[in-house]
């Protein structure tokens, strides 16, 4: 089995699709017929005896072929260029039928960058304990159809995702929804993954309502202990007031004697 050749390119770039045959330096394109086809039915361009004999109108002013290694160059690349191609090369020999020397496929994968994901949060309900909200993540203008993934404080989450595109070969817009009950500060991440590429965005979500907890009244035991201390203190002051004057008089009497 032939190894499948795959070429990747981004929208608007210049890309070269390699052919399976290279013309030796001792020969020229005049000795060959070359057909570049897409989907085995649509002729992109064709050469015979060194001259271009056909070119598809959709590739007009966007394609050229190297006369030596037969590489098909496309610029700028469009999303519609995505798909399988085939390079068919026939060698023209004198007084003989043409011989197929090359007939191999090559697949072009075209990607278009998605916008950086945008995360928004809409509050649905609020209380002292938690905030109920719907979180949305959206990205647009990319290709191919992406996968939407995410994490909540580094723990994987599943978005309720939906995609919009005019056709299977048109840019995609993607939106994901998530319903959360936020009781504390959390970090949410949204990632758009497509054909080996990824774009990510993070947002810090907070509880929007903070309630002041009223101060608790002192317990019964604390009140009782405080009252006893105050009573003992008052009794001590009363006894001292009565005892100290008498003690002073007795002291002066003994001094006179």
If asked whether residues 95 and 17 sit together in one domain, one would say yes
CA distance 215 to 54: 88
| pLDDT band, residue 92 (cuts 50/70/90) | confident
pLDDT tens-digit series, residues 199-251? 999 999 998 777 765 666 655 565 676 677 777 877 777 766 776 655 444 44
If asked whether residues 96 and 141 sit together in one domain, one would say no
Helix, strand, coil in percent for the chain, rounding step 5: 20, 45, 35
pLDDT tens-digit series, residues 151-175? 999 999 999 999 999 998 999 999 9
**Residue at 248 is within a domain:** no
CA distance 15 to 74: 5
What backbone torsions phi and psi does residue 18 show, to the nearest 5 degrees? Answer: -75, 145
Residue 253 has pLDDT above 60, yes or no: no
If asked whether residues 12 and 99 sit together in one domain, one would say yes
**Residue at 93 is within a domain:** yes
If asked whether residues 103 and 161 sit together in one domain, one would say no
The residue from 89, 111, 133 where one domain ends is 111
**Predicted local distance difference test score (pLDDT) of residue 185:** 92
**Residue at 15 is within a domain:** yes
**Domain with 154 in it:** 115-205
Strand order in the sheet with 63-65: 15-17, 72-74, 63-65
CA distance 12 to 110: 10
If asked whether residues 25 and 105 sit together in one domain, one would say yes
Residue 111 has pLDDT above 70, yes or no: yes
If asked whether residues 105 and 119 sit together in one domain, one would say no
CA distance 196 to 113: 11
Identify the CA nearest to 197 among candidates 8, 12, 17.
Answer: 8
**Residue at 14 is within a domain:** yes
The residue from 205, 224, 249 where one domain ends is 205
The residue from 111, 136, 154 where one domain ends is 111
Q: How many domains does the chain have?
A: 2
CA distance 232 to 161: 74
pLDDT tens-digit series, residues 1-26? 345 799 999 999 999 999 999 999 98
What CATH number did the domain enclosing 138 receive? Answer: 2.60.40.10
**Residue at 49 is within a domain:** yes
If asked whether residues 85 and 148 sit together in one domain, one would say no
Please check whether residue 137 is in contact with residue 201, taking contact to mean a CB–CB distance below 8 angstroms.
yes
Instruction: Provide the strand spans (E) within 153-196.
Output: 155-157, 160-164, 172-182, 186-194
If asked whether residues 122 and 185 sit together in one domain, one would say yes
**Residue at 106 is within a domain:** yes
**Residue at 250 is within a domain:** no
Q: Give this prediction's pTM.
A: 0.72
CA distance 148 to 168: 18
If asked whether residues 184 and 137 sit together in one domain, one would say yes
Burial classification of residue 79, based on how many CB atoms lie within 10 Å of its CB (0-12 exposed, 13-18 middle, 19 or more buried): middle
pLDDT tens-digit series, residues 137-148? 999 999 999 999
**Residue at 211 is within a domain:** no
If asked whether residues 159 and 119 sit together in one domain, one would say yes
**Predicted local distance difference test score (pLDDT) of residue 195:** 85
3-state secondary structure of 50: coil
């Amino acid at each position: 089995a032939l190894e499948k050749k795959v070429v990747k390119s981004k929208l608007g770039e210049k890309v070269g699709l390699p052919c399976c045959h290279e013309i030796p330096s001792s020969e020229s394109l005049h000795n060959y017929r070359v057909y570049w086809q897409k989907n085995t039915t649509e002729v992109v361009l064709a050469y015979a005896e060194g001259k271009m004999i056909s070119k598809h109108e959709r590739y007009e002013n966007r394609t050229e072929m190297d006369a030596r290694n037969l590489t098909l160059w496309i610029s700028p690349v469009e999303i519609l260029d995505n798909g399988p191609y085939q390079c068919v090369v026939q060698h023209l020999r004198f007084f003989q039928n043409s011989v197929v020397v090359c007939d191999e496929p090559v697949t072009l994968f075209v990607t278009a960058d998605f916008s950086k994901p945008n995360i928004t949060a809409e509050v649905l309900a609020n209380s002292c304990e938690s905030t109920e909200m719907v979180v949305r993540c959206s990205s647009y203008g990319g290709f191919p159809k992406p996968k939407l993934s995410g994490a909540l404080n580094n723990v994987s989450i599943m978005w309720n995702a939906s995609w919009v595109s005019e056709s299977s070969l048109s840019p995609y817009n993607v939106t994901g929804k998530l319903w959360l009950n936020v009781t504390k500060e959390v970090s949410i991440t949204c990632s758009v993954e497509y054909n080996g590429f990824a774009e990510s965005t993070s947002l810090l979500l907070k509880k929007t309502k903070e309630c002041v907890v009223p101060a608790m009244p002192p317990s019964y035991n604390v009140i009782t202990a405080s009252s006893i201390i105050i009573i003992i203190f008052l009794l001590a002051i009363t006894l001292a007031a009565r005892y100290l004057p008498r003690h002073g008089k007795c002291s002066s009497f003994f001094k006179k004697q």
